[in-house]
Structure 1
Amino acid sequence: MKTTLLRSATSIAIVAAAMGIMPAVSPMAAQAQDTAELQEKRIPAGEFVKQPNMRTVRISPDGKRLAYTASVNGESYLVTLNMETNELKPVLASSEAREAGERQMAGYRWIGNNHIVITTISRENINGQLGDFRRLIAYDVNTGEVIPQAWDRAGGDAGIIKYIDHKKGTFLLQRDALQEVRSRYGLPEIVEVDVTTGKFKMVQRTNPEVTDWNVDGKGEVRAASSYDRDNGKVRVMFKAEGERNLKTVFNEADETFTDSAPNPSMYIPGTNLVYTLSNHEGYSAVYKMDMTTLDIVEKVYGTEGYDVQGLILNEERDRILGYEVFDGEAKTVFVDPDMKTVRTMLSEVFEGAALQIVDYTSDLKKFVVYVGGINKFPGYFLFDTQTGSLNLLNWEKTHLKDLEANPMKAEWYTASDGVRIQAVVTYPRHREGQKNLPVIVMPHGGPFGVSDRVEIGFFPWHQALAEQGYVVIQPNYRGSGGYGKEFVKMGRQPGGYGKRMQDDLNDAVTAFAEKGVIDANRACIMGWSYGGYAAARGAQRDGDLWKCAVAGAGVYDMPLMNDWDARNLGRFSSGFQATSEDPEGISPARNPEGKWSPILIVAAERDARIPMEQAETLVSALRGAGKVEGEDFRYVIQEQGTHNLPYDDVHMEWINEANAWMQKYNPAYIDTDGDSPPATVAFNN
């Protein structure tokens, strides 16, 4: 890691200047900064997918320092800011590891007030195959010392923090153990680590039935679990109050992939009761449960017609501060009086703008607040409840400041079989009120249990393409998460995958065309991962509907993918994706003949989830069917790409290729629209 640490004064000066660190100003003055020229012009699509200039802001427990990631010209850096002296220190240069021998930063958090513990991933060549090793390093903000954390005799993964004691400067680390007994190789153990030295002592040794440990708010191991990748059984073990041994309380498989195993979110001190999320009544809600019997004691919190997304706990993990909820828009509901008061004050200052509390000090006196992201480009602010000060730290994208975003709404439509579907719709800000616009339908990945939503920190693709003049519709087709387990099961039923789920996408075009919002004759479909499959399936199955398709990192041959999943994920997990009774029939690569929509196919050569053979098989089939490359299809291989599009260069290539393909076959502006595109802003960065 020494080769990537930034120590020189020259490096610090260059990074600080390029990051555009903002002075402390009031939020009203910050929002008043001049963005008039940008408002009138069109932002290039690629600007929306560049790494933010500030992200993942973490405040030290005493509130004296910040740690965050800053990106400059496509390069990311972990930096610290001393808020008493205003001293800025770049700590670590970080980008995703591409080659053997490279390392990347995968996250960080404060432990105590003087150390940032950084998760690193090291990519290595193991017998001709690339493998990733996860390790922790601690950075001392006072001395600049870098301390490896419990590396001695650690296995492949030594990076899961289970518990933190800020006062003692220690934490519990779950790591793969190197054992002499072959049957126990790679099983996890728990060690207590001293962050100042990196030295550790054993807390919990490996157990042949355990692949993950669960720790309560006092740092005691209270539960454990394991998963059998072949039969799908999840075993949950629990240690009752006052007992020494774990006992199995659950050992079942869920062939519907919708019923969650008991998973404690918070232990109630001195009891065998926990708070947990459960969907046993149809929708995920918060319950109080007895872990020894798995009996539900009390329903604590739920929402009508939607799944609760999670609990927000205090630092000690012994009190609920609030809940993460969703009703088409992601929201936080605080129940803690202090948090409710702070949220109310901030909402009044920002006049109802979308905001999120992203971090806070142990005493709940200082808060990092993320403002914007739904109606404006967001920024980070620091709120001090004792002084009343509220200062801008930086805009997420410094050069765009608080530019007005393309407006997003969560709207409902009715599918052709009567099922109600919710979608996130993004409208082009330069064409407000205009009817019969071109549309891009953008199905999310997953597909099951995942959803698109209106939320702070918007997904950049819909903003990028709405900016070019398109209405972008992101349907939460049946099978999506957030709407109860029966809605998920609807997607998994025979005739769902590749058929009824596709109809939901088609029906979005029909529904919004009937409203006059879009022109059904000017529709394209675009997606990545499962969305890439849905785009290719749409191009093959519904060539008369879609003017074009853009498919990235998709599955195109289901039998081939099911075989790959069985080998790499286990026999049970291989059934998670397509549940169709006709896997060949729903595979675009198995049906290359007939009329297809013109399709752009983008494949990431380093994709660890979807093998390159999927794209190669589709392209080969299209060529064999007489499809003309450059007209009927275009094939782009991203040699440095992964499934997560981690770099600015490959991410910009993806969005720019997609935009160019759509402009070719479905232009955003045509003569009969009655308007013309605004001038495009030119950026130097």
Structure 2
Amino acid sequence: MVKKMFAAALLASAMMMPVAGGAQTSDIVVVAQKGRVDTAVFGKRPFMRDPRLSPDGTKIAVMLSRDGVDNLAYIDLAKPGNPSTLIAKAEEYREAGDRTMGTWRWVGNRTLLVTLLSRENIFGQRADLRRLVAYDLETGKLMPLAWTDAGADAGTILHIDDEKETILLQRGTFKDGSFSPGPEVVEVDVRTGKYKSVMRPNPEVDSWMVDGKGVIRAAVGSDSKGNQRLMYRSNGSETLKTVSNEKDPTFTQSQIVPEIFLDEPDMAYATSNKDNLRRVYKVDMKTLEIVGPPVFQLSRYDVDGLIADESESKLLGVAFTTNKERRKWMDPRLAQIQAFFDEDFGEGNAMITSTNDGDTKLIVRVSETSDPGGYYLYDTESGKMQLLGWTHPILKGAKMNPTESVRYKASDGLEIEAVITYPRHRKSRKNLPVVVMPHGGPYGIRDEEGFGFFPWHQALAELGYVVIQPNYRGSGGYGKDFVKEGRKPDGYGNRMQDDLNDAVTWFGKQGLIDPKRACIMGWSYGGYATARGAQRDGDLWRCAIAGAGVYDFPMMKSYDTNAFGSFGASFQATASDLVDISSARHPEGKWAPILIVAGLRDARIPIEQSRTLVSRLKGAGKKEDVDFRYVEQPKGTHNLPYEDVHIQWLEEAAKWLDRFNPAYVPTDSDKPMPVAVTVDTK
């Protein structure tokens, strides 16, 4: 009875309370379930993402889309109609000196801390820079924080003191023409911008760690060979001492590293994948011995991270991902609220994403795997639940194409998990055309069920295709042994490619797809894998759609020696290996027809990669608009931040698919649905 009353209260309050900006929930009309949604709709920017409550729960900082451009804003919950105030546009950096907004956090109740990102050319090498600015809600002014003498990174926040309105900031420095041998820690007053050093740079340290009182308690150092050193002290008056010094040549982060220092002497909560899967442990930091059984573990997946309370000394919950992103609350009160949500909205469909101090107000994201969902503000004291805004500006809460996770066997016997999206308008799930969509990264990243920030799987399923997103070997979330499988000498560009091919074979044998009607599509690493598939396995794929990929590894390594990270900078070390896995070095032979899309202002992958591939395809006798098509986007960047650029990518993909692998053929028993939901893209 209590739970039924709880559900009724949620529904009633959601209908009565105003949403951010003054609209009413009665204004929201969901029509997307009927008829086909046009491809361009899926290219729209999310209306709202990552809302964060202020400590007192009176304001929300959030990224809002206006006219297709992201804007950081704040919502004042104390004012009638909950008006939103735009702070600044968050366009992606494109040229040297450009900056964009990354993350945002509260310091007290009147100051927002915003991370600015840029990419620069430093001594011939590309480097991503981070800087912090403080935004004063009362004056509307932005103030740089500790920029003087800052090095490549000056954006790691170690500790926030809401009462004093200060932060501990880890930053590299650049003085007298040289970079510091390690990061320093400075205490910054976000109201005045004044700062002072509390820990000088140490050449043995990459990262400092602090407890809930802001005392530096530990440090980690590493090198390019995988050596990791952990140093620790019981309090601020002691000297840091080495408690672990291990070598991890696989770069799978096996060392135990503390995340929450407890009020108990020398005790901390840490995560580690020492036994393959990443689990949560209670650890004696002096001896690095594990105390008792794992605090939290999963049978098939890694833990993502820990959630601390406002004191930063207690474990509030654990973030993890199974088939979708989830939370496990250790706090009894939040656990009970989550149980109510699970019963009323379905298990895992309502996730608490932000709380105020005291956890009396919660921001909850409510969505199933097939709908974009929305954000709600839940008042635990009154029981009212207020719709803040839908994630998608047009689809709102509409249920789209269903998804599920399925495990299949690769040709060498390794089990691979894939996210399958089924076209909702097809009469049956038998012998359907398929698009295999490898994710970016590749290491440590994975696809999961859900509508997502870039719902390409939904766009293609809406056209009538089954979409398979394999979490090929090397993907994250399945333990370090699975990552290491992708990092074997035959992994990159070979065995990882086989996993994509094996998905077509396996699901074809299940009768779901027609293996003769398969295309491949991806962006970034997915773009590389797509072009590699078109080149290496031209007989398998009817077409390929590659975006922002690396196609010539020797060229890319020359452009940016740090392009592949600590491990990747030395993988496939010999020139012949790099040539072997570079599709642009093998333009001859049979290729699947390939669409190549690239952003002129891509700061991650230079435009020369795509131009070189196109030039070599032409040199090998391949004909443009027959064997390949090249689309260069003048405003395009690596992360597709503009709606028109994003929509163009999806529409070009849809046309290429329809040309070489149409979703509906004359022998099909069903026909395409007429378009019912469109968007003005002008």
Q: Structure 1 length normalisation: TM-score?
A: 0.89
Among 131, 143, 146, the alignment partner of 2:142 is: 146
| Deviations, residues 274-306 of structure 1 (Å, cap 9, x unaligned) | 221111112111122233333333322211122
Q: Does the Cα contact within 8 Å between 1:278 and 1:285 map onto a contact in 2?
A: yes
Q: CA deviation at 1:218?
A: 1.4
Counterparts in 2 of 1:432 and 1:358: CA distance versus 1, 3 Å: farther
Question: 2:10 — aligned with what?
Answer: none
> Which AA in structure 1 matches 2:278?
S
> Which AA in structure 1 matches 2:581?
I
> Which AA in structure 2 matches 1:470?
Y
Equivalents in 2 of 1:484, 1:325: separation in Å? 13
Equivalents in 2 of 1:215, 1:609: separation in Å? 32
Among 414, 417, 421, the alignment partner of 1:422 is: 417
Aligned: 1:547 with 2:552: no
Counterparts in 2 of 1:379 and 1:279: CA distance versus 1, 3 Å: same
Equivalents in 2 of 1:77, 1:582: separation in Å? 44
Question: 1:297 — aligned with what?
Answer: 291
Q: Does the Cα contact within 8 Å between 1:374 and 1:408 map onto a contact in 2?
A: yes
Alignment of 1:68-79 (within 5 A): 68-79=62-73
Alignment of 1:330-409 (within 5 A): 330-352=325-347, 354-409=349-404
Among 235, 241, 249, the alignment partner of 1:247 is: 241
Counterparts in 2 of 1:577 and 1:302: CA distance versus 1, 3 Å: farther
> Which AA in structure 2 matches 1:392?
L
Equivalents in 2 of 1:560, 1:469: separation in Å? 38
Q: What SS does structure 2 have at the residue aligned with 1:671?
A: coil
Question: 2:305 — aligned with what?
Answer: 310
Equivalents in 1 of 2:337, 2:566: separation in Å? 49
Among 485, 492, 501, the alignment partner of 2:487 is: 492
> Which AA in structure 2 matches 1:554?
G
Equivalents in 2 of 1:90, 1:438: separation in Å? 44
Q: Does the Cα contact within 8 Å between 1:323 and 1:333 map onto a contact in 2?
A: yes
Q: Does the Cα contact within 8 Å between 1:493 and 1:579 map onto a contact in 2?
A: no
Alignment of 1:21-170 (within 5 A): 21=21, 23=23, 25=25, 34-36=29-31, 38-85=32-79, 86-121=82-117, 133-170=129-166
Q: CA deviation at 1:369?
A: 0.7
Aligned: 1:527 with 2:522: yes
Equivalents in 2 of 1:577, 1:554: separation in Å? 18
Counterparts in 2 of 1:126 and 1:488: CA distance versus 1, 3 Å: closer
Alignment of 1:418-497 (within 5 A): 418-431=413-426, 433-455=428-450, 457=452, 459-497=454-492
Counterparts in 2 of 1:260 and 1:437: CA distance versus 1, 3 Å: same
Question: 1:268 — aligned with what?
Answer: 262
Q: Does the Cα contact within 8 Å between 1:323 and 1:332 map onto a contact in 2?
A: yes
Equivalents in 2 of 1:127, 1:297: separation in Å? 47
Q: Does the Cα contact within 8 Å between 1:436 and 1:519 map onto a contact in 2?
A: yes
Aligned: 1:218 with 2:213: yes
Equivalents in 1 of 2:626, 2:432: separation in Å? 24
Q: Does the Cα contact within 8 Å between 2:33 and 2:400 map onto a contact in 1?
A: no
Q: Does the Cα contact within 8 Å between 1:566 and 1:573 map onto a contact in 2?
A: no
| Deviations, residues 107-132 of structure 1 (Å, cap 9, x unaligned) | 21111111112222467787899876
Q: What SS does structure 2 have at the residue aligned with 1:430?
A: coil
Segment of structure 1 superposing worse, 653-662 or 485-494: 485-494
Q: CA deviation at 1:384?
A: 0.2
Aligned: 1:652 with 2:647: yes
> Which AA in structure 1 matches 2:515?
A
Q: CA deviation at 1:344?
A: 1.7
Alignment of 1:619-638 (within 5 A): 619-638=614-633
Q: What SS does structure 2 have at the residue aligned with 1:209?
A: coil
Counterparts in 2 of 1:629 and 1:118: CA distance versus 1, 3 Å: same
> Which AA in structure 1 matches 2:198?
V
Aligned: 1:597 with 2:573: no
Q: Does the Cα contact within 8 Å between 1:23 and 1:392 map onto a contact in 2?
A: no
> Which AA in structure 1 matches 2:276?
G
| Deviations, residues 79-114 of structure 1 (Å, cap 9, x unaligned) | 222112133322222211223454322221111111
Q: Does the Cα contact within 8 Å between 1:373 and 1:457 map onto a contact in 2?
A: no
Among 500, 504, 508, the alignment partner of 1:509 is: 504
Q: CA deviation at 1:469?
A: 1.3
Q: Does the Cα contact within 8 Å between 1:81 and 1:89 map onto a contact in 2?
A: yes
Q: CA deviation at 1:425?
A: 0.3
For this pair of structures, how many residues does the alignment match? 659
Q: CA deviation at 1:146?
A: 3.4
Identical amino acids, percent of aligned pairs: 51
Equivalents in 2 of 1:460, 1:479: separation in Å? 23
Counterparts in 2 of 1:123 and 1:505: CA distance versus 1, 3 Å: closer
Segment of structure 1 superposing worse, 355-364 or 265-274: 265-274
Equivalents in 2 of 1:652, 1:191: separation in Å? 43
Q: What SS does structure 1 have at the residue aligned with 2:569?
A: helix
Q: Does the Cα contact within 8 Å between 2:217 and 2:236 map onto a contact in 1?
A: no
Aligned: 1:641 with 2:636: yes
Q: Does the Cα contact within 8 Å between 1:156 and 1:186 map onto a contact in 2?
A: no
Q: CA deviation at 1:498?
A: 2.4
Q: What SS does structure 2 have at the residue aligned with 1:522?
A: strand
Question: 2:9 — aligned with what?
Answer: none
Counterparts in 2 of 1:432 and 1:56: CA distance versus 1, 3 Å: farther
Q: Structure 2 length normalisation: TM-score?
A: 0.90
Counterparts in 2 of 1:581 and 1:454: CA distance versus 1, 3 Å: farther
Q: What SS does structure 2 have at the residue aligned with 1:431?
A: coil
Equivalents in 1 of 2:297, 2:100: separation in Å? 39
Q: CA deviation at 1:413?
A: 1.5
Counterparts in 2 of 1:103 and 1:248: CA distance versus 1, 3 Å: same
Question: 1:288 — aligned with what?
Answer: 282
Q: CA deviation at 1:555?
A: 2.4
Question: 1:16 — aligned with what?
Answer: none
Among 667, 670, 674, the alignment partner of 2:665 is: 670
Q: Does the Cα contact within 8 Å between 1:547 and 1:666 map onto a contact in 2?
A: yes
Q: CA deviation at 1:142?
A: 2.8
> Which AA in structure 2 matches 1:71?
S
Q: Does the Cα contact within 8 Å between 2:420 and 2:466 map onto a contact in 1?
A: yes
Structure 1 runs not aligned, ≥5 long? 1-18
Q: Does the Cα contact within 8 Å between 2:305 and 2:318 map onto a contact in 1?
A: yes
Counterparts in 2 of 1:661 and 1:350: CA distance versus 1, 3 Å: same
Q: What SS does structure 2 have at the residue aligned with 1:39?
A: coil
Q: What SS does structure 2 have at the residue aligned with 1:174?
A: strand
Q: Does the Cα contact within 8 Å between 1:494 and 1:579 map onto a contact in 2?
A: no
Counterparts in 2 of 1:126 and 1:423: CA distance versus 1, 3 Å: closer
Aligned: 1:278 with 2:272: yes
Equivalents in 2 of 1:448, 1:131: separation in Å? 20
Aligned: 1:329 with 2:324: yes
Aligned: 1:176 with 2:146: no
Question: 1:12 — aligned with what?
Answer: none
Equivalents in 2 of 1:259, 1:121: separation in Å? 25
Equivalents in 2 of 1:672, 1:207: separation in Å? 69
Counterparts in 2 of 1:142 and 1:314: CA distance versus 1, 3 Å: same
Question: 1:7 — aligned with what?
Answer: none
